Structure 1
Amino acid sequence: MSKVNLNDLKARIEAADVYALAKRTPCQLAPKLSLEYGRNIWLKREDLQDVFSFKIRGAANRIAGLTDAEKAKGICAASAGNHAQGMAAAAAHYNTKAVIFMPITTPMIKVHAVQAAGAETRLIGESYDEACDAAINFSNESGAVFIHPFDELDVISGQGTVGKEILEQMPRTPDAIYVCTGGGGLVSGLGTWVKAVSPTTKIIAVEPEGAATLKTSLEAGEPTPLNKVDSFADGVAVKLIGKNTLEISKSVVDECILVTNDEICAAVKDVFEATRTVVEPAGALALAGLIKHAREGSAPSGDCVVTISGANVNFDRIGHIVERAELGAGEEMLFAANIPEQAGAFLNFVRALGHRAVTEFNYRFAPTETAHVLVGIKTKSSDERADVVSAMDAQGISVTDLSEDRLAKRHLRHMVGGRASPDVEEVIYRFEFPERPGALTDFLVNLDSRWNISLFHYRNHGSSTGHVLCGFQVPNDDVKALEESLSKTGYPMSPETENLAYDYFLRA
């Protein structure tokens, strides 16, 4: 039995004060998708809000209810993007100061949008949880009102107006509504209204396989933190669902399904073809769930609505999304560098890069005096390329700019490789690095210098976590000692030495 009174929550949704800032977004039929999947598919276009996300609803309703004394003290929040933008816009409208705490891995497009709305941003920590702790401490010290992104009833009530609008706009009662789900604010608010008015309509929560916080907690019967969260769909990358949202979801959610990142990317493409809008991965999550259900034969045959929840996609992520859906690529400065094949040379090279954002890193050991490295980095302008070359020259590193070399950009970057010496055992590991300046340097500094790196590959995918493939030469077969050294870096790792692809292309 829910601890939240659902009748009271429905009344809160009815009275929610959102339309000073939020739009009544359309619920549009998608003819091509409907034809392809044999049922009427409707898109609830929350990507058309001024902040490109439904989050403006909860933020507007919560801040509208503050007293004058509370508004005078200001508000604070923690968010990786969409809640932050909603809070900033609502705070500006109601003339109260907003301080938003965001992880340092937050895409800058979201940080700049929050700042443009007049809010102060503070980048702290590498995860939402660290930023949230900082926001709560700030609230306790300053008196500013902390507003949770999904677990407050006024926020949930604001999000619930999405469900109210859907039932008002649909020509017929929908058979099912598929809802993108992270912390649960949208699915619990929407579900409360819909189940009260149309109890036969199924509410289906859709989550990424790597961030199944609702499904995990429903199975456990209580809020249960995930050990690991895949941040690809960053708008729903939540480690722990809310207490209120879980209790409400127990009463209103009929089913919870999981989709892969590839399925999400394909849905982003489908939304684009239907609307000519590029939505963020979380924005296409619900459609990915419906398509999966339809292909499995589990989706209702009548009218199905999906929430298109947001379009705050970082530009540099679009290439990765396209690549996952259709093998696309992106742009940056690409250069070749020659470094001495000796211990410590790799660390010196990384230090010479400074805090520049690396998009790709290809290196393979060769039994010669000089190692060849192919690197891609982000640059603000073409003029910065000369600065990179100068920085490398200062360290005695010879660099060749390949940014305009079509062969290098289209082919060579994906073909760099080789095989290590067969005289020394090599082991391969896959790592997850926080996507922040200095992460690679920290890794190399903490790594025991006796281990020679024989392979290194990294490519930026625009998310908060970088994926790295790294090889090490292990004299005397002392793998245990290597793994003890690697554990000190603090970065998650998985062995890949027995991977079949490694056998085919990389093993000596």
Structure 2
Amino acid sequence: MEIVRQMPTPLHAIFVPVGGGGLIAGIAAYVKTVCPEVKIIGVEPYDANSMALSLFHGQRIMLDNIGRFADGVAMEVVGEETFKLCRELMDGVVLVNQDAICASIKDMFEEKRSILEPAGALAFAGAEAYCNYYGLKGENVVAITSGANMTFDRLSLVSQHADVGRRQECVPASYVPEKWGKFKQFCEPASDGSSIENEILCRFVIPERPGALMKLLDAFGGRWNISMLNYQRQGQNGGDVLVGLKVLSSEMDEFKALANSLGSDYAFEISNETLPLLLHQ
């Protein structure tokens, strides 16, 4: 109601962060009644897209794994009643990644000196992505900024990703063959690499508490060679650990059984476009 009353000129679209669907269902129910021409667009993270999947399949879909960066919208499944309204009233969903969210947090800080939490900046990132994709100019759009629950730990992560999301910075990836002197040679003209056979790349989500990373290393380090490890504290309930291991195809069932016994969420990185650079193959 406030949005419609305060906008003096025609409104093209309203972008709303989506978790369980309650906020966007309420906004859509009112706006579509008084201004049916205004588009209602939901915005979700790529790794917490329960509404987008539910709309695509025509029924509520429960996610097995959920990204927790934008924890304010991290829901396994959307609400039953809210989904009924959203299916009828929403005009679409925009999906954004972590870098885009971080870029929007930085944009808001530089413009208004206000700091949003990731879920709070979600609609802002979605509105920008939508306008860029459709080349939208000269139209009025509204993005619902829904929260500012930010910690210093997470703010550090945001600052690292913001310029990547703005396309002002890139993160190159390469590898150094596992031979003596190759790192030094890496700083000179590139050389031929060596290969590691049967290497897999797996991402684990572990609790951010003392001993959690060591538990993971103890579980696999005594059985398989760990060829790569990437972990950084992110100031949230679960931290991502990217692990490269040498696992024979005949050992995959044993590996999965051990991974399942740890009680942590995990996934094999098989569709990541940077995989050929991260693996030594």
What TM-score range do you get, normalising by the shorter chain?
0.7 to 0.9
Q: SS of the residue aligned with 1:182?
A: coil
Partner in structure 1 of residue 45 of structure 2:
208
Partner in structure 1 of residue 254 of structure 2:
484
Aligned length: 252
Post-superposition offset of 1:295: 1.0
- Over residues 236-263 of structure 1, what are the superposed CA-to-partner deviations in whole Å (9 max), with x where a residue is unaligned? 1111000111111123212222122222
Aligned mates of 2:259, 2:253 — CA distance in 1:
10
Match of 1:443 among 216, 223, 231: 216
Normalised by the length of structure 1, the TM-score is 0.45
Structure 1 spans left out of the alignment, 5+ residues: 1-163, 328-363, 369-414, 416-421
Partner in structure 1 of residue 151 of structure 2:
314
Partner in structure 2 of residue 284 of structure 1:
121
- Over residues 141-171 of structure 1, what are the superposed CA-to-partner deviations in whole Å (9 max), with x where a residue is unaligned? xxxxxxxxxxxxxxxxxxxxxxx11122222
Residue 277 of structure 2 corresponds to residue 501 of structure 1:
yes
- 8 A Cα contact 1:448 1:485, kept in partner: no
Aligned mates of 1:495, 1:260 — CA distance in 2:
17
Q: SS of the residue aligned with 1:489?
A: helix
Normalised by the length of structure 2, the TM-score is 0.77
Partner in structure 1 of residue 205 of structure 2:
433
Q: Aligned in 2, Cα 1:192/1:300: closer, same or farther, shift over 3 Å?
A: farther
Aligned mates of 1:426, 1:281 — CA distance in 2:
37
- 8 A Cα contact 2:105 2:118, kept in partner: yes
Aligned mates of 1:226, 1:213 — CA distance in 2:
6
Match of 2:241 among 465, 468, 472: 468
Instruction: Give the partner amino acid of 2:103.
Output: A
- 8 A Cα contact 1:208 1:233, kept in partner: yes
Q: Aligned in 2, Cα 1:460/1:426: closer, same or farther, shift over 3 Å?
A: farther
Aligned mates of 2:195, 2:127 — CA distance in 1:
53
The 5 Å alignment of 1:240-389 reads: 240-297=77-134, 299=136, 301-326=138-163
- 8 A Cα contact 1:428 1:469, kept in partner: no
Residue 63 of structure 2 corresponds to residue 226 of structure 1:
yes
Q: Aligned in 2, Cα 1:486/1:456: closer, same or farther, shift over 3 Å?
A: farther
Structure 2 spans left out of the alignment, 5+ residues: 165-175, 181-186, 188-193
- 8 A Cα contact 2:16 2:23, kept in partner: yes
Aligned mates of 1:423, 1:246 — CA distance in 2:
49
Q: Which has the higher contact order (CA 8 A, sep 6+)?
A: 2
Aligned mates of 1:257, 1:424 — CA distance in 2:
39
Q: Aligned in 2, Cα 1:193/1:442: closer, same or farther, shift over 3 Å?
A: same
Post-superposition offset of 1:486: 4.4
How well do the aligned residues superpose, as a CA RMSD in angstroms?
3.2
Q: SS of the residue aligned with 1:463?
A: coil
Post-superposition offset of 1:445: 4.9
Instruction: Give the partner amino acid of 1:217.
Output: S
Q: SS of the residue aligned with 2:11?
A: coil
Highest CA radius of gyration, 1 or 2? Answer: 1
Q: Aligned in 2, Cα 1:176/1:495: closer, same or farther, shift over 3 Å?
A: closer
What percent of counterpart residues are identical? 35
Q: SS of the residue aligned with 2:139?
A: coil
Post-superposition offset of 1:316: 0.6
- 8 A Cα contact 2:108 2:115, kept in partner: yes
Partner in structure 2 of residue 217 of structure 1:
54
Instruction: Give the partner amino acid of 2:242.
Output: L
